[in-house]
Amino acid sequence: MSELSVNHLLGIKYIKESDIQLIFETADQFKEVINRPIKKVPSLRDITIANLFFENSTRTRLSFELAEKRLSADVVNFSAAQSSVKKGETLIDTVNNILSMKVDMVVMRHPNPGAGVFLSKHIKASIVNAGDGAHEHPTQALLDSYSIREKLGDVAGKKVVIVGDILHSRVALSNIFALQMQGAQVKVCGPKTLIPKYIHSLGVEVEMDLRKALEWCDVANMLRVQNERMDISYFPSTREYTQLFGVNKKLLDSLDKEIVIMHPGPINRGVEITSDVADSKQAIILNQVENGVAIRMAVIYLLASKIKQ
Ligand code: CP
C-alpha cells in the first residue's frame, strides 16, 4: 500500500493495520533524514499547516511544529489562551477564519472528545487529532508502537501493560487500539476507580497487582494521574497511589527479567515513576520523544500526498 486509507488522522480506531505499517515505513525514512547534518527536505513547500492548541502541550506541539518545518511546510501556530476564543468565538468560526487564510491542514488539540471528528465534517482541510479530551491521541500511540518496534524488533506478540489513570487517558485508548491491531497483548493496571468499566469489552485484561503486571509484561507504559480532568478524589492519597502503582528501581531490579519502561510525558517524578527509573537504561522515554518527530513527519507527509492528488 502506498497511500493512507483515510484523509484525516482522527483516531487509531479509524485507521487500518496497513496504515500503521505505511506510517512506520515512511517514518523510517524520515528518521534517517533527521539524523543528517541538514535535517530538512523540500517535500511540503506548497502546504500550509495550522497548529491549533486549545489545551496545554509541550511535546506534541513542539514535535508537530518541528516535523512540519523539517518537511518545509509553512506553519502558523494558534494558542487558545491568546486568541479570540476568550472573547466567545466558536470552534467552527475560529477554524473557518484560519482556513480563509488558505490553510491546507489543521493539527488540533482540544479538551472535548470528538472535536476533531466534528471539525472534519464541517471543513475541507485535512485534520490531525493531537489529543481530544480523554478520547484519542493517535500520534502518541503510533510513536509508542514505533518505539517498541525499534527496541524489541516487533510489536506483534509482545505483552504490554498500561499502568495508572486509564479512565482519563487518551494515550491509553489509542495505545490499546494500536497495539491490539498489531497483534500485541494488552493489560491495564491501576486503582479500580481509574479503570473504565468498558475495558473488558475492548479485550483488555485488568491486573490490580503491579508486581504481577510487571512480571507478565515485556513493556510497561506508565501514565500520569490526570488531576486536571478529575472533579472528585479517585484514591485516598498520592502517597498511597505511589506505594501501590508507582514503579521504582528496587521493584524493577527484583523482577527476573529486564522490561522496557515507557512514559508519554509529562512525568510526575516520584509519583508514577521514580527518577532512577525514568533516567535508567530500561526507560525509552526520550527515544519516544525523538521518534515522535519522525512519526509526525510521516503522518503529515502521507496526508498531504492525498491533498495534492
Ligand atoms: N505526550 C503528550 O501529549 O505530551 P504533551 O501534553 O506535553 O503534548
Residue 123 lies in a domain: yes
Q: Is the CB of 94 under 6 A from ligand 1?
A: no
3-state secondary structure of 262: strand
CATH of the domain at 180: 3.40.50.1370
pTM, to two decimals: 0.95
Is 213 found in the same domain as 275? yes
Is 203 found in the same domain as 192? yes
Is 23 found in the same domain as 103? yes
Ligand 1 centroid–CA 309 distance in Å is: 32
Ligand 1 centroid–CA 303 distance in Å is: 22
Is 169 found in the same domain as 111? no
Is 206 found in the same domain as 90? no
Is 229 found in the same domain as 164? yes
Is 52 found in the same domain as 129? yes
Query: E strands within the chain?
Result: 48-53, 74-79, 105-110, 126-132, 159-163, 185-189, 205-206, 219-222, 260-262
Q: Is the CB of 138 under 6 A from ligand 1?
A: no
Is 116 found in the same domain as 35? yes
Q: Confidence band (pLDDT; 50, 70, 90) for 282?
A: very high
Is 218 found in the same domain as 194? yes
Write out the residue range of the structural domain in which residue 296 sits: 12-136+289-308
Residue 168 lies in a domain: yes
Q: What is the pLDDT of residues 10-49, one digit of tens each?
A: 999 999 999 999 999 999 999 999 999 999 999 999 999 9
Q: Average pLDDT for residues 238-242, to the nearest whole number? A: 92
Number of compact structural domains in the chain: 2
DSSP string, 118-175: HHHTT-SSEEEEEEETTTB-HHHHHHHHHHHHHHHS-STT-EEEEES--TT-HHHHHH
Is 159 found in the same domain as 128? no
